[in-house]
Amino acid sequence: MIIPAIALGAFCATMAGGLVALRFRDKLHLILGFSAGAVVGVAFFDLIPESLALGEKFYSGATLLSCVALGFLIYLVLDRLALLHGEATAHDEHDHHHEHGALRGSIGAGSLSLHSFLDGMAIGLGFQVSTAVGAVVAIAVLTHDFSDGVNTMNLVLKNGGSRTAGLRWLLFDATAPVVGIASTFLFTLPDRIFGMVLAIFAGFFLYIGASDLVPESHHAHPKFLTTAMTLVGAAVIYLAVSFAWI
């Protein structure tokens, strides 16, 4: 019963985060500031350390950190392709920003959803090792699922996505860890591969936070408050991950 309960908890936490972001969208710059810190915090305090821990038996630290850089560059290319697509399909300036923004929002939300799927896999694989390991991984995942929901909704809304699109991506993101957990009953993912995948996703998150959320949150808004919220977002993830591994 514990695994279905964890899956339900992950779903509810992600949905709650997204609904909070939707409810307070008039304070979007502050929520974006928090999201920026949370996304970068997940990369630095969760994904990179976990990838190093899982992959150290197979790869050097330099190799895994190179995978982080690879993920950053892959996302950069995807972002530039989204920009080119917007330029090719737009008929006027409004269409350009709408097309480009919607595609960027979808790419970002899709990346976060894939990360949530891997989070679910991590929980399931953890329980395959032992109940204790599975419980620790589950705590780590559940503590940042709320932020995942906030981040997913924010990426869609700030790129011009509609409320419906935001809710659709939020539901997708909330379902992803449940599917990830269920998938581990069908196969296992070797630590050799899982560590590299986590490193690549760390690069994705660093790009999203540094190149997308941070600049957007500071655009035409009070710098002190948004900077404070960015620091709070990073601190929340740091404390959550630290608490999970005590």
Nearest to 149 by CA among 2, 29, 34, 4: 34
Nearest to 141 by CA among 122, 162, 156: 122
| Domain layout of the chain by residue ranges | 2-244
pLDDT tens for each residue of 38-47: 888 888 988 8
pLDDT tens for each residue of 231-242: 998 998 888 878
What percent of the chain shows pLDDT beyond 90?
13
The pLDDT of 224-234, averaged and rounded, is 87
Query: Token match 């709070």: residue?
Result: 232
Q: Is the pLDDT of residue 91 over 60?
A: no
Q: Is the pLDDT of residue 90 over 60?
A: no
pLDDT tens for each residue of 109-155: 887 888 788 788 878 877 876 676 677 667 667 766 777 788 788 78
Q: What is the CA radius of gyration of the chain?
A: 18
**What is the model's pLDDT at position 96?**
46
Spatial separation of the C-alpha atoms in residues 159 and 104, rounded to whole Å: 7
Token pair in block for residue 184 = 């581990």
The pLDDT of 178-201, averaged and rounded, is 84
**What is the model's pLDDT at position 149?**
86
Helix-helix angle 191-207:61-89, to 10 degrees? 50
**What is the model's pLDDT at position 32?**
75
Whether this prediction's pTM lies above 0.95 is answered by: no
| CB-CB contact of 237 with 150 (8 Å) | no
Query: What's the helix, strand, coil split of the chain in %, to 5?
Result: 90, 0, 10
**Within 13 Å of residue 39, how many CA atoms lie on the same side as its CB?**
31
Spatial separation of the C-alpha atoms in residues 158 and 105, rounded to whole Å: 8
| CB-CB contact of 206 with 42 (8 Å) | no
Spatial separation of the C-alpha atoms in residues 237 and 230, rounded to whole Å: 11
Query: Token match 């038996």: residue?
Result: 57
Q: Is the pLDDT of residue 61 over 80?
A: yes
Residue 159's SS3 state is coil
Classify burial at 2, counting beta carbons within 10 Å of its beta carbon; exposed 0-12, middle 13-18, buried 19 or more: exposed
| Maximum pairwise Cα distance, the chain | 57
Q: How confident is the model at residue 244 (pLDDT cuts 50, 70, 90)?
A: low
Q: What are the b/e assignments for 59-96, b being 16+ CB within 10 Å?
A: beeeebbebbeebbeebeebbeebeeebeeeeeeeeeb
**What is the model's pLDDT at position 222?**
66
**What is the model's pLDDT at position 117?**
87
**What is the model's pLDDT at position 86?**
46
